[in-house]
Amino acid sequence: MIKQVKNPIVEVHDLTVAYDNKPVLWNADFSIPKGKMVGIVGPNGAGKSTLLKAIMGLIPIASGFSKILNENLKQVRHKVAYVPQKESVDWDFPTTVLDVVEMGRYGKKSLFKRLNREDKQIAVEALKKVKMLDFADRHISELSGGQQQRVFIARALAQEAEIYFMDEPFSGVDMASEKAIVDILLQLQEDGKTIFVVHHDLQSAMDYFDWMIFLNTRIVASGPLSEVFTTEILQNTYGGNLSMLEQIGQIYKEKQFPIRES
């Protein structure tokens, strides 16, 4: 089930991405309405990170295209913020927490322009929002996993973007940080922003997201949570993965979510 929408904020057409001639994302075709909190789920290696990077134009694509706000990526780059997977960041890079957040402002500047007082104030406000202002002068390598993640979210907030792409923002963070991050994302959604989150826990996915993309090299489904959380779609996404099916059984029991038998 792939629900196509009118006036999408993000649209993807026949998008195929290959590494070394081996397709890892195949013919993705979907559209997403503005203002949604979109969860992207699927097994390891399904192509979730690849999908985010391809939508943002960060990696070469084999065929197809994506559009954001009905524009080509170049025109809207400054309206897009990205929180990469924690593992892909060089935490030994010699920089402080405040430096990282201020980097979020450079996309708004013309080339070689320096940050002004307003930019610095926006960076400070972003750090306040993620409750990391006390750590402003710390080196980023000296933070816990949850704190590092919050700093990168502050950098995304400082960008004042329209669309946020977050790759596993909850991985390796404690429950308190996860809760803090979810609250920030909900606030962004309240402000009319659209948020994409790569996520691996189906149970919390049901609490966090109102739109879901199920991915396993191909798009298995994309649509409102209540329409795509079906046994058939879960099985098509995860196949016979036992632990995942157990997790799904647990979800049935605990939430008694109205899963549609198909």
- Give contact residues for ligand ADP (rule: CB under 6 A): 19, 24, 42, 44-50
Select from 195, 129, 186 the least CA-distant residue to 162.
Answer: 195
Cβ neighbours of residue 236 closer than 8 Å, sequence gap 6 or more: 214, 216, 220, 221
Q: Do 16 and 191 meet the contact criterion of CB atoms below 8 Å apart?
A: no
In the complex, least distance from residue 105 CB atom to ligand ADP, rounded to whole angstroms: 29
- Comparing CB distances to ligand ADP, the nearer of 49 and 177 is 49
- Comparing CB distances to ligand ADP, the nearer of 48 and 155 is 48
- Residue 86 is classified by DSSP as G
- Comparing CB distances to ligand ADP, the nearer of 50 and 148 is 50
- Comparing CB distances to ligand ADP, the nearer of 50 and 147 is 50
- Comparing CB distances to ligand ADP, the nearer of 42 and 146 is 42
In the complex, least distance from residue 14 CB atom to ligand ADP, rounded to whole angstroms: 18
In the complex, least distance from residue 117 CB atom to ligand ADP, rounded to whole angstroms: 39
In the complex, least distance from residue 86 CB atom to ligand ADP, rounded to whole angstroms: 13
- Residue 96 is classified by DSSP as B
State how far the alpha carbon of 100 is from the alpha carbons of 151, 153, 173, in Å. Answer: 7, 10, 19
In the complex, least distance from residue 45 CB atom to ligand ADP, rounded to whole angstroms: 4
